[in-house]
C-alpha cells in the first residue's frame, strides 16, 4: 500500500529531495542479443543489436505455425540511484529499483502510431506489457545495470504488420519501476528501429541437405531459440521430425 502522509511544504521538499532525485535516475542503452547459450546479461553488452530485424512469417507449414514467435527485446537498463540504508536506524535499502512493466508504442518511420484494425477487435497501441528485474543502488559513477526482457511485438500484432514487409517501423518503449522505498520511477522512453521481413529468418527443414550440420543452418555461436529475430533463424520442422 502506498503511503499518504501530509507534511508542511518545506519539510516535504526536503524529504522528497532525499527519496526522489530530480531528473532521470535510470535509462535504457541497448537491445542485447543472447549469447550462444541463450543467456542475456549486462556483461554481454558487446552483443548489442543496433537495428532490429523481425521475421513475421509463421513458418512453411500453416497447420503448425512452428515459427510463430513474438519479437522480444532484451533491454539493458542503467540505474544511478544511490544507497540510502541506515543500519543504525534499522532502515533497509529504499533505493533498489524493481522494474515491473513497460509501455510499448509501435510507429511507422514517420513516428505515426500504427493502427491495428485488421480484425474485428482493434488492438490497443500503445499497450502495456510486463517485465521484471531488480537493480541495486550504485556505489560509484558507474551505473547499476540489469536486463529487462520486453515483448515488443506480440504475435497478434505481428500478424497485422504485412503492410510493413521490407520496411522499418519504430518501437517506443518506456519502462516503469518502483523502488523498495515505494517511489515510482519512469525511465526515459527508448526508441528503437526494427526491420520487418517475411521469411528472411525462416528455414524450411525440408530444404536442408542431409549432409548439412545445424551449425551451418543456425550459424556458429548463435542462440538456437528459433526467435526469427535479430539474426537468429527459425528452422520450421513442420514437415520433418525434429533431430
Q: How far apart (Å, rounded) are the C-alpha atoms in residues 194 and 106?
A: 10
61 within a domain of the structure (yes/no) = yes
Could you report the per-residue pLDDT of 179-232, keeping only the tens digit for each? 988 999 999 999 999 999 999 999 888 787 777 777 777 787 889 999 999 999
Q: Are 133 and 147 in contact (CB under 8 A)?
A: yes
15 within a domain of the structure (yes/no) = no
Q: Are 93 and 180 in contact (CB under 8 A)?
A: yes
H helix or E strand, kind and range, residue 216:
helix 214-218
Could you report the per-residue pLDDT of 29-88, keeping only the tens digit for each? 999 999 989 999 988 777 899 999 999 998 876 556 788 999 999 999 999 888 876 666
Question: For residue 110, what is its C-alpha cell?
Answer: 514517420
Q: How far apart (Å, rounded) are the C-alpha atoms in residues 113 and 210?
A: 46
126 within a domain of the structure (yes/no) = yes
6 within a domain of the structure (yes/no) = no
204 within a domain of the structure (yes/no) = yes
3 within a domain of the structure (yes/no) = no
Q: What is the mean pLDDT of the chain?
A: 84
pLDDT value, residue 12: 37
Tell me the residue range of the domain where 51 lies: 23-236
> Does pLDDT of 27 surpass 50?
yes
Question: For residue 125, what is its C-alpha cell?
Answer: 497501441
Q: How many domains does the chain have?
A: 1
Q: How far apart (Å, rounded) are the C-alpha atoms in residues 172 and 80?
A: 22
Could you report the per-residue pLDDT of 96-131, keeping only the tens digit for each? 999 999 999 999 999 999 999 998 899 999 999 999
4 within a domain of the structure (yes/no) = no
Amino acid at each position: 500500500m502506498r503511503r499518504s502522509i501530509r507534511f508542511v511544504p518545506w519539510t516535504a521538499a526536503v524529504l522528497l529531495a532525499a527519496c526522489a532525485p530530480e531528473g532521470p535516475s535510470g535509462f535504457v542503452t541497448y537491445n542485447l542479443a543472447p549469447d550462444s547459450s541463450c543467456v542475456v546479461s549486462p556483461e554481454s553488452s558487446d552483443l548489442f543489436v543496433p537495428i532490429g530485424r523481425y521475421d513475421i512469417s509463421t513458418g512453411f507449414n500453416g497447420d503448425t505455425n512452428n515459427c510463430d514467435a513474438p519479437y522480444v527485446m532484451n533491454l539493458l537498463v542503467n540505474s544511478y540511484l544511490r544507497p540510502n540504508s541506515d543500519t543504525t536506524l534499522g532502515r533497509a535499502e529504499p533505493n533498489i529499483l524493481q522494474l515491473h512493466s513497460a509501455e510499448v508504442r509501435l510507429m511507422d518511420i514517420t513516428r505515426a502510431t500504427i493502427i491495428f484494425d485488421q480484425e474485428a477487435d482493434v488492438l490497443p497501441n500503445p499497450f502495456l506489457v510486463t517485465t521484471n528485474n531488480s537493480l541495486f543502488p550504485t556505489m560509484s559513477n558507474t551505473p547499476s545495470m540489469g536486463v529487462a526482457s520486453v515483448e515488443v511485438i506480440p504475435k497478434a500484432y505481428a500478424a497485422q504488420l504485412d503492410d510493413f514487409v521490407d520496411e522499418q517501423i519504430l518501437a517506443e518503449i518506456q519502462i516503469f519501476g518502483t523502488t523498495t522505498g515505494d517511489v515510482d520511477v519512469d525511465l526515459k522512453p527508448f526508441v528503437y528501429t526494427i526491420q520487418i521481413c517475411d521469411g528472411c529468418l525462416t528455414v524450411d527443414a525440408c530444404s536442408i541437405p542431409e549432409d548439412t550440420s545445424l551449425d551451418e543452418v543456425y550459424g556458429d555461436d548463435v542462440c538456437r531459440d528459433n526467435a526469427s529475430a535479430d539474426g537468429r533463424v527459425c528452422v520450421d520442422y513442420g514437415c520433418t521430425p525434429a533431430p
